[in-house]
Structure 1
Amino acid sequence: MAFEGCELMTSYRRFKPHLLMVLAQMGYTFLYFITEASFNHGMNPHVYITYRHIVSGLVMLPFAYFLERKLRPKLTLALFVEIFVLSLLGVSVTLNMYFASLRYTSPTFIASMVNTIASLTFIIAVVLRQVYSNHQRIETYRMENLDIRNTRGMAKVVGTIVSLAGVMTMTLYKGPVIRNVWGALIHIQGNSTIHENWLKGSILTAASCITWSTWYIMQAVTLKKYPAQLSLTTWMSFVGGAQSAVFTAFVQHKPSAWKFGFNIDFWSIIYGGVVCSGLIIFIQLWCTEKRGPVFVTMFNPLSTILVAFLAYFVLGERLYTGSILGGFIVIVGLYVVLWGKEGDQTPLVKSDAESSSDYEEQKESKING
């Protein structure tokens, strides 16, 4: 009985990052619907980004201050500049470009392009590893290890290509529509103020995907210098919120745009700030430190699949066979990549144990000191 309990606990520790990332994608799924309702209600997307990260910073601050009070490294000017750039890539620039591109393209196009982040992150991580292959600390940054002569290494490449093919299938191939046997349970009023400009929208979307991928890679580097995930999440929220406020002040000159009532706008800000910019970012930082940036981004397509099915069953939107086929292909590709990445964990076990030991020694010395 004790042996079974030990085995269960070992399996839990092994698959804890997988479970957390699935829960994170579920959180992003609900964000899609609540923000769509808020934007259609009149909330300015850039104002929303600003408020959302201010709320996130205020919520995460007490946890970061008390739980990591004795563990935070000293914040130097160089480290603050790194956090400033990290906030710029992951919060203000990326999200503002992402929501701006929604004005010129379609949600389906955006969803498909965002899912290429996993492939972009994989490519950037592999390139960085090749460039810095002689760097002794490259393993500690969780840069992607790729050996195509190895079965698991080849699985990463094949899985990434298969997952990308699934994303493209969901976007480019519709197929027969699946009839909905019941009406919509929830109605979200559509927005008629969209102005199509596919060239501008495509450029903004591609740029946001590149900065997002770079952000995931940079997280792994910054976490080694500043391993306090709660504090890093708080800093990114406040700095990113301030950057977004400056940007919004330039593009939105109406004071009325900053006002919101106790309605869907309020709840979208609270949900986005507490769950997505607070809890989920913290989860992603933790998983990035444990498994690397590619592992985190490989779960992104799950939210697109969940959105499609939830939109069908709850909102009564059309569901095409192409979406089901593409979703199945994405899941197969995701599974293949994760299987390939399992081979990376063996040589890193000792490193993780040593890091954990150093962390505990540092914690004990600081508390005793």
Structure 2
Amino acid sequence: MSNKILPLVGMVMAMLLQSGSMVVIKAAMNDEMNKYVLVVYSLALSTLLLLPFPFLLPRSERPPLSFSTLCSLFLLALFGSSGQIFAYVGIDLSSPTLASAMLNLIPALTFVLALLFRMEKVYWGHLSIHAKVIGTVVSIGGAFVVILYKGPPIFKAHFSSLSSSSLTFSSSFSSPQQFNWILGGFFCVADSLVSSLWYIYQASVIRKYPAVMVTVFFQVLFSTIQCSIFALIAVRDRSAWQLKLDTGLIAIFYQAIAATALRYLLCTWCVQRAGPFFCSMFKPISIIFTVIMGALFLGDDFYLGSLIGTVIIVIGFYAVMWGKATEEKGIINNDEERLESTCHNIPLLHDKDVTI
């Protein structure tokens, strides 16, 4: 029983940490913490926390790093750091709820990119391919609904926010706010697109260099360097780099410890215990957590357009995941049939040899 309950609890906790991350980021930016500085400090602290782990691995599990591998990790980190910057800008311009909804586009966009890079073969006669194609179209359509249609508020939050400058909208918001919402939505889509590239390229890198903890450490280290260079160019105000005992400092520690280290460990453990498909099914739950936490701590309202678009995205998400699961199950069944056929042939050949 615990084999089923514990991974379920673990994934719910991981999604809760992810939702908390978006709300804390928004609260810190509302408290005048620069988003680029927040990225740099969070990644730098994550690098320090992850520093001992590669050295704890046995030498047999830590193959030597070649220059080509380091270049691959640098490019992988570039996808990751770009995604983080896009996500922070998107959250700053729109809301944590919209950013959380856009994350469910990752399976659909990964499927599209896999087709473009010819990493996935398409057999149009299979139901699984139809599900993945339809799910992709539905997910992207839902994203446009969330971004372009806001609608009237379903409920208005009347809670005190962590910051007095919380971003709220009325049912008929002004043009600059509408523009920021749409622009923020497209930045969140860009984050999902870059994350999809990161997933695809990561699979290639891990096959060449399978030491996971080493690859994670160097990715975070390179991301810190890349984001630091970008932030030093983008943020000219030196006072923005000064740390204070405020929401910004809480966000840095939360991002480094809870949203990065703890969530990564939880997801890895759950994947090992229950498999990747089981874990991916919990992704849409983060939207619910984000809506509730955004209302409680930021005073965010929830709008009809966000509800309709999110439902459409989630339907598309599950269609893509169902198609992927059906496809993988078919591959496993085919492998088992081939193995069974081979096993049946072995005794016959053996008997023939004995007879001779």
Does the TM-score normalized on the shorter chain lie above 0.5?
yes
Shift of 1:185: 5.4
Q: What is the rounded CA distance, in whole Å, between the counterparts of 1:144 and 1:295 in structure 2?
A: 22
Q: Which amino acid aligns with 2:140?
A: L
Shift of 1:177: 2.8
What's the counterpart of residue 366 of structure 1?
Answer: none
Asked if 1:255 is matched to 2:243, the reply is no
Q: What is the rounded CA distance, in whole Å, between the counterparts of 1:189 and 1:349 in structure 2?
A: 58
- Alpha carbons of structure 1 residues 232 and 264: separation in structure 2 relative to 1, 3 Å: same
What's the counterpart of residue 148 of structure 1?
Answer: 124
Q: Deviations over 1:240-284 (max 9, x none)?
A: 111211222222233322221233222211111122233445666
What's the counterpart of residue 119 of structure 1?
Answer: 108
What's the counterpart of residue 342 of structure 2?
Answer: none
2:141 to 159, 165, 181: 165
**For 1:189, what is the secondary structure of its paired residue?**
coil
- Alpha carbons of structure 1 residues 145 and 341: separation in structure 2 relative to 1, 3 Å: farther
**For 1:118, what is the secondary structure of its paired residue?**
helix
The more displaced of 110-119 and 211-220 is 110-119
What's the counterpart of residue 324 of structure 1?
Answer: 307
Q: Which amino acid aligns with 1:258?
A: W
Shift of 1:162: 2.7
Q: What is the rounded CA distance, in whole Å, between the counterparts of 2:334 and 2:267 in structure 1?
A: 22
1:183 to 158, 161, 170: 158
Structure 2 gap segments, 5+ residues each: 168-175, 336-356
Shift of 1:114: 5.3
Q: What is the rounded CA distance, in whole Å, between the counterparts of 2:65 and 2:300 in structure 1?
A: 49
**For 1:51, what is the secondary structure of its paired residue?**
helix
Asked if 1:307 is matched to 2:295, the reply is no
What's the counterpart of residue 61 of structure 1?
Answer: 51
**For 2:244, what is the secondary structure of its paired residue?**
coil
Shift of 1:73: 2.1
Q: What is the rounded CA distance, in whole Å, between the counterparts of 1:219 and 1:243 in structure 2?
A: 18
Q: How does 1:131-280 map to 2 (within 5 A)?
A: 131=118, 143-144=119-120, 146-180=122-156, 183-184=158-159, 186-190=161-165, 207-280=190-263
Supply the RMSD in Å over aligned alpha carbons: 3.8
- Alpha carbons of structure 1 residues 275 and 330: separation in structure 2 relative to 1, 3 Å: same
Structure 1 gap segments, 5+ residues each: 132-142, 352-369
Are 1:120 and 1:213, in contact at CA under 8 Å, matched by a contact in 2? yes
Higher Cα Rg, which structure: 2
Asked if 1:106 is matched to 2:94, the reply is yes
Q: Which amino acid aligns with 2:124?
A: I
Q: Which amino acid aligns with 1:178?
A: I
What's the counterpart of residue 63 of structure 2?
Answer: 73
- Alpha carbons of structure 1 residues 144 and 285: separation in structure 2 relative to 1, 3 Å: farther
Shift of 1:115: 4.7
Shift of 1:167: 3.1
What TM-score results when the alignment is normalised by the length of structure 1? 0.71
Q: What is the rounded CA distance, in whole Å, between the counterparts of 1:34 and 1:303 in structure 2?
A: 14
What TM-score results when the alignment is normalised by the length of structure 2? 0.74
